Structure 1
Amino acid sequence: MYKKFLSVSLFLSSFALSGCLLFDSEIERWHLAQQGSTSLSLSRDGRFALVSTKLQGIALWDLQQNKKLADFGSQDQYHNSVITSQISDNNRYAITATTQNFAVWDLGWSQARGLWSIDDAAIQDVAITNNGNEVLLALTNGKALFINMTDGRRLEFLAHRDKVNSVALSANGHYALSGGNDNHAYLWNTRSGQIIYSFKHSSHVSQVALQRDGKLAFSSDSNNDHIIWDLTTGKKITQLAVKLRQSPLSSVRFSNNGQWLVTGSPTRRVELWRTDNGKNIGSWRAEVLPGTRPATAVVYDVAISPTGNIVAGSSAGYAQAWSTD
């Protein structure tokens, strides 16, 4: 993975001096949900897509083979819409959530491991570990709830003083990052609940992300302050050089080596950034569902493939891949 990405990194760095480029370089498109989707998550390598729709429920796709691998159906008996989901870092497990319940899936065996309900708040966001045994929920009551599904251990992280909007977990489940309407993002230990770093923003924190090796973190707010943090020092490295009045972010992911960051927005925009200086490397537009008004799409998830292609999935039910060559 790292050797493959090195050549891509060297290629992309040649664009740094010329600023943002708009690549018209779509190389593949998959229409996974004909009527649009309520949630769509990608695997880290952009190969697999977990898509949720109102009518057909949850389905797993292998984009590389252009093949549906499994139909899971509705998450619950009431056919409530799945609003958020995540595939584990190793592609083996996934979590999906409505506002009131969540399910864990074993993607290798194409079956559910269980369904659990939340009674005292609505779910905003979810994350899952590589072993599929630990999950993290962002809740509207100001709690980030960490649960070990094997032994039933629950840890309620209570540092936030308002709704929690976004969460991220390290692959081994030892560290969590959460951001909320209290204008803070916190990096914390899931074993003790102890805060490691506090990242202050000027407005509601809407998106957070962790780099795979735990060296970098990202947090974004509603004022378009999109900040990359050094987790060895807790200090700010840089801020993304966004244009004024650009819409907030709806999805974000670091490249494996941490040199790049790919983001998606509620207004179709997909962008690639350098993490050392925040410069924009490229920009693309997600497809819209034909006949919809307004003609827009929320970019639910983004990824960078091992060959350096940009992959995105949206509310229009499309997954798309663009080349950076």
Structure 2
Amino acid sequence: MRIISRILLFSISILIAGCWQNQALQTWQVAPEGASSVALSRDGRFALLYSSQQQLVLWDLVENKIAAELGAQDQNKSRVIQIDISDNLRYAITASQDNFAIWDLAWGTATGLWSISDGAIRAVDLSSDGQQVLLGLTNGKAIYVNLDTGRRMEFLAHREIVNSVALSANGRYALSGGDDGMAYFWDTETGQAIYQFKHDTRVNRVALQRDGLYAFTADSGKGATIWSLKTGKAYSQLKSRLRQLVFASARFSDDGDYLVTGAQSRRVSLWQTKTGERLAQWEATAQKDTRPPSAVVYDVAITPQGDVISASSAGFIEAWKSDDLNHE
């Protein structure tokens, strides 16, 4: 029996090891002391990160060098907890708990700083023109702001903290998820909910496919669903043997065929949108001298060549190759 048990355990170990592909194609150490927030551009070329040592720094990963040192977000050197780069790669939003700034990355300068007084900022997103902002707040509000016209809309359907938001590239549609177990897909012109997606526990992560084909919502348990935005119905469920699927980041491929996610537990995963099957997974590098080894995967992206890019709190950005994606 002992021999059989050992053989069984050995077989399971081989099986588990075969699922992981931990050899990164390339690694960039962009923040040796770790980062409190990192965002990747949609094509995985640029990374905008914040650390207390460097403040805000823009990296060009293709050139493997710092493209711009943006400095502090405000005069108080507030800790930046949220960053997003616009779909067209030109603009970025950075946010502390009580204010946010918009940056023109082509010039490496801020275009403005705005304060929020009725709730702490929990999540942010930005339209391609850099003028439309979506915020998720701790008071249960999702706020849409058009900085060009000054128009502001408060979406009040959530009853608790809004943890994650996503804004369409043109700023017309929004997706928000909160502690109340609800995710809403809504119109920023009318403020009306188009679809509502119910979960059993709090919704931690949402994402929109850039052409409006799909939405992704995931809760703090095992509920992770890809929805068709044509019908408002579930398109697929992510399949996993884990008891929990807690995601810190998620992004669809441009064509919508794949979803890549990053977890609070260093895990980077590639999923097939149609089936919800996990195609590949990797483990991001942990921060040095942490026990147990840890890193939060703040953002993920897929390059035009089909490589997966991950950026983590450990201060590392890593490129991963998957045989399931087309490589040029």
TM-score, normalised to structure 2, is 0.92
Question: Is the CA contact 2:20–2:283 (under 8 Å) kept in the aligned structure 1?
Answer: no
CA offsets 1:250-294 (integer angstroms, 9 cap, x no match):
100000111100000001000000011110100001111211233
Q: Tell me which amino acid in the other structure corresponds to 1:283.
A: Q
The structure 1 residue matched to 2:111, chosen from 110, 113, 126, is 113
- The match for 2:281 is 283
Q: What is the DSSP-based 3-state SS (H/G/I as helix, E as strand, rest coil) of the residue aligned with 1:214?
A: coil
Please, which runs of 5 or more residues in structure 2 have no aligned partner?
1-17, 324-328
- The match for 1:180 is 178
Q: Displaced runs of 4+ in structure 1, greater than 4 A? A: none
Q: Tell me which amino acid in the other structure corresponds to 2:289.
A: G
- Identical pairs, percent: 53
Q: Does 1:265 align with 2:263?
A: yes
The structure 2 residue matched to 1:84, chosen from 82, 85, 93, is 82
Q: Tell me which amino acid in the other structure corresponds to 1:167.
A: V
Question: Is the CA contact 2:136–2:165 (under 8 Å) kept in the aligned structure 1?
Answer: yes
Query: Aligned runs of 1:132-147 on 2, under 5 Å?
Result: 132-147=130-145
Please, which runs of 5 or more residues in structure 1 have no aligned partner?
1-19
The structure 2 residue matched to 1:167, chosen from 152, 165, 168, is 165
| Aligned equivalents of 1:103, 1:245: Cα separation in 2 | 38
Q: What is the DSSP-based 3-state SS (H/G/I as helix, E as strand, rest coil) of the residue aligned with 1:26?
A: coil
CA offsets 1:186-228 (integer angstroms, 9 cap, x no match):
0000011011000011110000000011010000001120000
Q: Tell me which amino acid in the other structure corresponds to 2:50.
A: S
Q: What is the DSSP-based 3-state SS (H/G/I as helix, E as strand, rest coil) of the residue aligned with 1:23?
A: coil
Shift of 1:63: 0.3
Question: Is the CA contact 2:249–2:297 (under 8 Å) kept in the aligned structure 1?
Answer: yes
Instruction: Give the number of equivalent residue pairs.
Output: 306
- The match for 2:8 is none
CA offsets 1:52-72 (integer angstroms, 9 cap, x no match):
001221010100100101111
Q: Does 1:69 align with 2:67?
A: yes
CA offsets 1:119-146 (integer angstroms, 9 cap, x no match):
1100001000000001000000110000
- The match for 1:196 is 194
- The match for 1:219 is 217
- The match for 1:241 is 239
Q: Does 1:210 align with 2:231?
A: no
Question: Is the CA contact 2:203–2:219 (under 8 Å) kept in the aligned structure 1?
Answer: yes
Q: Does 1:99 align with 2:97?
A: yes
Question: Is the CA contact 1:37–1:52 (under 8 Å) kept in the aligned structure 2?
Answer: yes
Question: Is the CA contact 2:68–2:108 (under 8 Å) kept in the aligned structure 1?
Answer: yes
Shift of 1:247: 4.6
Q: Does 1:47 align with 2:45?
A: yes
| Aligned equivalents of 1:60, 1:38: Cα separation in 2 | 14
Say what the alpha-carbon RMSD is for the aligned residues. 1.0
Shift of 1:244: 2.5
Question: Is the CA contact 2:221–2:245 (under 8 Å) kept in the aligned structure 1?
Answer: no
| Aligned equivalents of 1:22, 1:271: Cα separation in 2 | 10
Q: Does 1:315 align with 2:313?
A: yes
CA offsets 1:29-65 (integer angstroms, 9 cap, x no match):
0000010000000001100000100122101010010
Q: What is the DSSP-based 3-state SS (H/G/I as helix, E as strand, rest coil) of the residue aligned with 2:119?
A: coil
TM-score, normalised to structure 1, is 0.92
